[in-house]
């Protein structure tokens, strides 16, 4: 009967399909370094290993892509001995896999002195008449901050705490905290604001929050500290800085003690004592 025969026949077809599919061109390993320091590595290798079958896989083409760029970073057609390079990526055009053969030796890309702009997702794509496969992974070229600064200003009854980070890539993990008098507990400061600009492949960041002066401990309770932490994923980089908070001694200040010096804190003091004036009267 056909239905009885039909079942094994279908299985056989499936099996045959699998044999050709399962033996078809396939990427077996993609090696892309996850984190690379900016500008200091002589070169990094992005490799794409595949199994291919000389008889089946005619017209082999190997391509590498970066992020959403439709133009390949690199393309190799072994049979034509044709290689195309995008000049955006500073590829070493002489690089060959040491153990490679005519169908594998130019499959990898070797990026010379990668910089932060070359971070992103890299995809290796292999094609032949018999099949195709692709695989992708990300590489982050990081730059540690050139400076990290923590400071605060006091104005109109509010304390603005600002942590500034310059020349960093990618965006770091950051936190602002305070340490209350006579404790060691870092309590997070809430309602933080993140502002940044990307300039020449690195971020300049201002991470800040504003706290009403009256929510902060009084000086008579002891010293309060503000702190900022900066970490960069995938690296050992970890920075923590603290500054002591000195509240405005409003009560002791004379009103109109508004001298013409360019001392930021004394201007803040003057303003804050003025803003309190009317409340009292
Ligand atoms: C990365 O390194 C290059 C030198 O190779 C340097 O010119 C560039 O400023 C660096 N970028 C960052 C963000 O540090
Ligand atoms: C804090 O700000 C003052 C005045 O604006 C400045 O002189 C000082 O250098 C800053 N401190 C830090 C650690 O940046
Ligand atoms: C921040 O918010 C958390 C949860 O709402 C709270 O427990 C904590 O006390 C707040 N931190 C500060 C400094 O206000
Ligand atoms: C850093 O890694 C953590 C956990 O792996 C993740 O939740 C976070 O989004 C990462 N931060 C950035 C800025 O990529
Ligand atoms: C200016 O600020 C510094 C430290 O912040 C302080 O020592 C100095 O007394 C201030 N000058 C005046 C005129 O208030």
CA-nearest residue, atom 5 of ligand 4? 233
Residue that wins the pLDDT comparison between 276 and 203: 203
Residue 66: exposed, middle, or buried by beta-carbon count in 10 A (0-12, 13-18, 19+)?
buried
Cα–ligand 2 centroid distance for 76 (angstroms)? 55
Check residue 65 and give its pLDDT: 97
Which residues have any ligand 1 atom within 6 Å of their CB? Answer: 38-39, 113, 115-116, 143, 167, 169, 201-202
Confidence check: pLDDT of 269 > 60: no
pLDDT in tens, 113-122: 999 999 999 9
Residue that wins the pLDDT comparison between 240 and 281: 240
Cα–ligand 5 centroid distance for 123 (angstroms)? 57
Greatest alpha-carbon pair distance for the chain in Å reads: 108
Return the ligand 2 atom nearest residue 151 CA: 1
Strands (E), 16-131: 26-31, 35-37, 43-51, 61-66, 74-77, 82-85, 109-112, 120-127
Check residue 200 and give its pLDDT: 93
Check residue 258 and give its pLDDT: 43
Residue that wins the pLDDT comparison between 76 and 254: 76
Confidence check: pLDDT of 266 > 60: no
pLDDT in tens, 20-67: 555 678 999 999 999 999 988 899 999 999 998 777 667 899 999 999
CB-CB neighbours of 134 under 10 Å: 14
Check residue 273 and give its pLDDT: 37
Nearest residue to 167 (alpha-carbon basis) of 153, 139, 183, 146: 146
Question: Quick one: which ligand is closest to 190's CA?
Answer: 3
Return the ligand 4 atom nearest residue 173 CA: 13
* 40 within ligand 5 shell (Cβ under 6 A): no
Return the ligand 4 atom nearest residue 233 CA: 1
Q: What is the mean pLDDT of the chain?
A: 84
CA-nearest residue, atom 1 of ligand 5? 263
Check residue 220 and give its pLDDT: 86
- Mean local confidence (pLDDT), 200-216: 95
Query: Tokens 């400061």, residue?
Result: 189
pLDDT in tens, 178-207: 999 988 899 999 999 999 999 999 999 999
What percentage of residues in the chain have a pLDDT greater than 70? 79
- Mean local confidence (pLDDT), 128-139: 92
Confidence check: pLDDT of 254 > 70: no
Cα–ligand 3 centroid distance for 276 (angstroms)? 27
Q: Is 280 helix (H, G, I), strand (E, B) or coil?
A: helix
Check residue 56 and give its pLDDT: 66
- Mean local confidence (pLDDT), 126-147: 94
User: What is d(CA 56, CA 53) in angstroms, rounded to the nearest whole number?
Assistant: 5
User: What is d(CA 124, CA 78) in angstroms, rounded to the nearest whole number?
Assistant: 15
User: What is d(CA 122, CA 217) in angstroms, rounded to the nearest whole number?
Assistant: 51
């Amino acid at each position: 009967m056909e239905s009885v025969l039909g079942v094994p026949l279908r299985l056989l077809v499936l099996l045959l399909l699998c044999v050709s599919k399962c033996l078809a061109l396939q990427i077996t390993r993609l090696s892309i370094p996850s984190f690379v320091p900016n500008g200091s590595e002589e070169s990094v290798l992005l490799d794409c290993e595949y199994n291919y079958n000389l008889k089946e896989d005619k017209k082999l083409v190997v391509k590498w892509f970066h992020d959403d760029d439709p133009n390949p970073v690199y393309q190799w057609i072994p049979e034509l001995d044709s290689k195309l390079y995008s000049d955006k990526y500073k590829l070493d055009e002489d690089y060959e896999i040491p153990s490679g053969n005519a169908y594998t030796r130019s499959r990898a890309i070797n990026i010379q002195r990668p910089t932060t702009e070359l971070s992103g997702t890299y995809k290796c794509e292999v094609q032949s008449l018999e099949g195709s496969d692709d695989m992708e992974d990300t590489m982050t070229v990081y730059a540690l901050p050139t400076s990290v600064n923590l400071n605060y200003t006091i104005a109109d009854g509010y304390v603005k705490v600002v942590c500034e980070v310059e020349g960093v890539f990618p965006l770091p993990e950051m936190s602002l905290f305070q340490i209350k008098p006579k404790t060691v507990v870092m309590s997070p400061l809430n309602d933080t604001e993140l502002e940044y600009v990307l300039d020449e492949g690195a971020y300049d960041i201002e991470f800040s929050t504003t706290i009403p002066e009256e929510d902060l401990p009084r000086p008579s309770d002891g010293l309060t500290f503000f702190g900022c932490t900066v970490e960069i994923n995938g690296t050992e980089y970890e920075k923590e800085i603290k500054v002591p908070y000195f509240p405005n001694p409003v009560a002791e200040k004379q009103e109109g003690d508004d001298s013409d010096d360019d001392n930021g804190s004394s201007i803040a003091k003057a303003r804050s004592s003025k803003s309190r004036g009317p409340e009292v009267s």
